[in-house]
Amino acid sequence: MHHHREPASKGPPATEALESRVQGILSRMTLAEKVGQLTLVNGHGGHIPEELKTALREGRVGSVLNEVDVGTVNELQRIAVQESRLGIPLLVGRDVIHGFKTVFPLPLGQAASWNPEVVRRGARVGALEAASAGINWTFAPMVDIGRDPRWGRVAECLGEDPYLSGVLAAAMVRGFQGEDLSRKGHIAACAKHFAGYGASEAGRDYNTTNIPEIELRNVHLPPFKAAVDAGVATLMTSFSDLNGVPASANALLLTRILREEWGFDGFVVSDWESIPQLAVHGLTADARESAREAANAGLDVDMAGHAYADHLESLVAEGGVTPERLDALVANVLRIKFRLGLFEDPFTNPADFPAIANEEHLRAARQAALESAVLLKNEERTLPLDGASLASLAVIGPLADDGYEQLGTWVFDGDPTYSRTPLQAIREAVGDSVDIQYVRALETSRSRNREGFAEAKAAAAHADAVLLFLGEEAILSGEAHCRADIRLPGAQEALIHELAETGTPLILVLMAGRPLALEGVAHQVGAILCGWHGGTMAGPALADLLFGVESPSGKLPATFPRVTGQIPIYYAHKNTGKPSTPGSFVHIDDIPPGAPQHSVGGTSFHLDAGYTPLFPFGHGLSYATFEYANIRTSRETVEIGESIAISADVTNTGDREAEEVVQLYVRDPVATVTRPVRELKGFRKVRIGAGETLAVTFELHTDDLAFHGRDMRLASEPGLFHAWIGGSSEASLRTEFEVVSPATRRESDLQHSSEDV
């Protein structure tokens, strides 16, 4: 068995035939037509205004976004192809982030499945449904590293870890694009937001980011590289300022790294109006200067900004942008249009596609929701519920029966009429045998009105168990929806305190778009099942887990802090010169009055929160129990350029078959730059029968241990490495191995032979 290293396929090669087609069109284009290919305009909701028709006929628009009526899309394509001079077809873009009509869990939720196949299938279903409406380009995957859950867009990201994000990003690209972009139902993907957006200061959207280049390369860029290696067609720039040069004009990113180092030959699109916003940042004086800076940095397409349309022609005429630079930008766009097969067939016939929200699509969404849910806590086997021995059940909370809210953020096309809610699914699961009392208790997740508490408390007091569906509405996460305090909003904590007084077992089912700070209430509930925003089929998936039809198998892709003030808190931190250990810190309540000031023996922690999270990265419980033993390596030393196998035995010591995500972590304890205390390097989701033992082996190449050093070059260094295999980032089963340099070994051999002489 191998660890999850995705094959690096660079996508379709830029063949001579393709390049000659691109150059053939380029050589016939006027300056205005070239700028047109770099212009992306917003649609008009099923209507085509006269000025857009004219612009299409004149070749002044190359792509349209947010038009989802297939008749309108076909008419836009017809005008572009049949009524313009060169007949260049359009790209039609749409945010298909976690499904089209059939909505899958949020990307952060999908990441909790730790299953690339779940992610690939979700993108496949989204692509098929969107393509049936004429869409041929989507703005996903988002691969920003999310280490600040205050940021609303962590909902869209794939978690805090570069390796996990990269594996899942590649899977999502394959789902959208398939093996051949020109085939029906395959659409162009877009890795975003290049780069560093997830490090926005204070978790506040669009905010400044200051990221040392070494951290940019070691943490934030690897998932983008994984997407590029998987053949992603396009990238999108970040809104944010990066070290003083906003990403949409950042030549280090767009030219040196992306084109020269990685060899990317697709195109890069700005985020919405991010080119004219360069002037708002203070990099440029106006939209004209912004267009010049973006084009010269290597940004190909202007999304909704009109800066290229208004200024690029005159900039080229006056020498601010060279004709060669303009041609390179246009060629990047044409290359993708050819790969999509749009010149052969730009039109869409919905009859060529499976029905929207068909049974197969709903089944895939249900499986994704099932694998995404993470059992965070389960004291004394509070879960699963035994339907046969239950007489009554209280279902409480504003998210128990809301088909819209369970879809989550950024689902412009999601249709709540397809949703199956937890309450519906629970009623189906238990039939008439269990008396179900449903109390909404709060109007919304933000409500502070406690009028419904008395009814909720009465229902809880008379029930055998309470299922509490709490968390966040969809609108509390996503773009521009950041929170400074990530506790349960509104009066939800107060509701839990009230219900705890009844003594009835409480089961908290979290539905949210981010990790939440739950220290204030976690001790009052017997179990916590995190279902994120699970999409269309969240209800049946959660019911299967709550009643034990299935065992939870999700693991956290992002750390859950105890309190908001611990942020940023993530597993792959540096050690510091004074690391905390159990017993090495003093709690604020244990300090005597008038204590003398000193820092002797001090370590890195918060007086009021310690140094550990509430739930660590990689954590997730099961209804089975898994024990790890006998960690071993295939060799003690491995030469740079070679591989080592690291194995452990995983035993299901529980009484039922279940799935476990087995995780491999390594540490490089001594290096030319300090390295994290642990880094994920492999994972496998395995199904193990009750009482069975499975040997799980990871193949680790020394390339997997490489990092960017002081000179910014990627290299593997010799030395001792620690390795852990376990069920979370806190795995304790450890071994070690040594990486040696072949050159060093040869030099020492030569020394010995010369001494012999």
Average pLDDT over residues 324-342: 98
Residue 754 has pLDDT above 60, yes or no: no
Q: Would you state the pLDDT for residue 599?
A: 84
Q: Would you state the pLDDT for residue 600?
A: 75
Distance (Å, rounded) from C-alpha 345 to C-alpha 89?
9
Do residues 72 and 205 share a domain? yes
Residues of the chain above pLDDT 70, percent: 96
Q: Looking up tokens 């690939």, which residue turns up?
A: 120
- 210 in a structural domain: yes
Q: Would you state the pLDDT for residue 585?
A: 86
Do residues 396 and 348 share a domain? no
DSSP run (H or E) holding 317: helix 307-317
pLDDT 10s digits, 467-500: 999 999 999 999 999 999 999 999 999 999 999 9
CATH of the domain at 716: 2.60.40.10
Q: Which residues pair with 384 in a beta bridge?
A: none
Distance (Å, rounded) from C-alpha 439 to C-alpha 274?
45
What type of residue is 477? S
Q: Which of 523, 546, 569 is the last residue of a domain?
A: 546
Q: Which of 497, 529, 546 is the last residue of a domain?
A: 546
CATH of the domain at 196: 3.20.20.300
Do residues 484 and 538 share a domain? yes
Reported as a pLDDT band with limits 50, 70 and 90, residue 744 is: low
Residues of the chain above pLDDT 90, percent: 94
Is residue 241 among the annotated active site residues?
A: no
Reported as a pLDDT band with limits 50, 70 and 90, residue 598 is: confident
Burial 508-519 (b: 16+ CB within 10 A, else e): bbbbbbbbbbbe
Average pLDDT over residues 315-330: 98
DSSP 577: S
Crossing angle of helices 116-131 and 162-177, rounded to 10°: 40
Cβ neighbours for 523, distance < 8 A, ≥ 6 positions apart: none
CA nearest to 107, candidates 62, 58, 164, 154: 154
Q: Which residues pair with 109 in a beta bridge?
A: none
pLDDT 10s digits, 161-185: 999 999 999 999 999 999 999 999 9
Distance (Å, rounded) from C-alpha 702 to C-alpha 56?
52
Average pLDDT over residues 250-278: 98
pLDDT 10s digits, 4-25: 333 343 445 678 999 999 999 9
pLDDT 10s digits, 529-564: 999 999 999 999 999 999 999 999 999 999 999 999
Q: Cite the DSSP H helix spans in 178-286.
A: 213-215, 222-229, 251, 277-281
Quote the number of domains for the chain: 3
Q: Which of 95, 205, 229, 271 is labelled catalytic?
A: 271
- 358 in a structural domain: no
Domain around 446: 369-546
- 603 in a structural domain: no
Do residues 537 and 637 share a domain? no
Reported as a pLDDT band with limits 50, 70 and 90, residue 750 is: very low
Distance (Å, rounded) from C-alpha 493 to C-alpha 470?
10
Average pLDDT over residues 600-611: 92
Crossing angle of helices 453-461 and 492-500, rounded to 10°: 30
- φ/ψ of residue 635, rounded to 5: -160, 160
pLDDT 10s digits, 396-432: 999 999 999 999 999 999 999 999 999 999 999 999 9
- φ/ψ of residue 437, rounded to 5: -105, 115
Distance (Å, rounded) from C-alpha 691 to C-alpha 294?
60
Q: Which of 352, 383, 418 is the last residue of a domain?
A: 352
CA angle 89–90–93, rounded 5-degree value = 155
Crossing angle of helices 287-297 and 323-339, rounded to 10°: 70
Do residues 334 and 467 share a domain? no
Do residues 332 and 420 share a domain? no
Reported as a pLDDT band with limits 50, 70 and 90, residue 752 is: very low
Q: What is the mean pLDDT of the chain?
A: 96
Do residues 384 and 345 share a domain? no
Token pair for residue 740? 């040696």
Length of the chain: 757
Do residues 158 and 227 share a domain? yes
Q: Would you state the pLDDT for residue 745?
A: 53
DSSP secondary structure string for all residues of 358-394: -HHHHHHHHHHHHHH-EEEEEGGG--S--TTT-SEEE
Distance (Å, rounded) from C-alpha 365 to C-alpha 357?
10
pLDDT 10s digits, 193-223: 999 999 999 999 999 999 999 999 999 999 9
Token pair for residue 303? 């999304």
